[in-house]
Amino acid sequence: MEAKQQEMITIKSGQEGRFRWVAVTALLLAIGLILKLVTPAVAGITPNWLIAMYCIAINLTRVSIKQAAGIGLVTGAVAIPTSKAALPYANLISEPVGAIVCALIVHTSFKLAIGTINLRPAITAGISTVASGLTFITILKVALSLPVAVYLYGMLPVVLAVAGINMAITQLIYFPAQRLFGGKEA
């Protein structure tokens, strides 16, 4: 019987959390996907849990713009099979737009708080949802040759309503997620 020699793994200092952002994002997107599948629509509107979760992940990990684009692309791919939209592949464009917008806001030096309450999660979620939603409905309008009235009075109000809902959800979930994952403070 041969004796097995144990391998020694060495970790260079400063490399410990190099891919932490991937784990945090994957877990939050998985939670978002489950919530997307089980959340019923109210008046035809459901929160966009995937955007809320990637905004939380980007706020916690402060990823680069390139990494945010990757997060958005993965989110878009995950959203395709669960989409109820007429053109689900538009998510491959709209979600990276939303994630990049979120990362750009996260990297600004503006203090987005009222007193001691950090409002950056809500603000990033609202603006990212609007950016992603506008991109999505614009692609839909052009690809399906929809009338301007449908775009302005049918789809745009839904995007704004979802943005408001996402702002509240993201703000509420961010602080427990920050305690759980130990995110960076902006």
Give yes or no for residue 109 having a pLDDT over 70: yes
The CA-CA-CA angle for residues 107, 109, 113, to 5°, reads 105
Given pLDDT bands bounded at 50, 70 and 90, which one contains residue 2?
low
Q: What are the DSSP calls for 1-70, one per residue?
A: -PPPPPPP----TT-TTTTHHHHHHHHHHHHHHHHHHHPPPBTTB---HHHHHHHHHHHHH---HHHHHH
Q: What is the mean pLDDT of the chain?
A: 90
Let me know: does 76 contact 94? Beta carbons within 8 Å.
Answer: yes
- Give the CATH fold of the 21-36+46-181 domain: Arp2/3 complex 21 kDa subunit ARPC3 (1.10.1760)
* Three-state secondary structure call for residue 93: helix
Kindly report the pTM of this predicted structure: 0.87
The pLDDT tens digits of the residues spanning 130-162 come to 999 999 999 999 999 999 999 999 999 999 999
Domain boundaries, the chain: 21-36+46-181
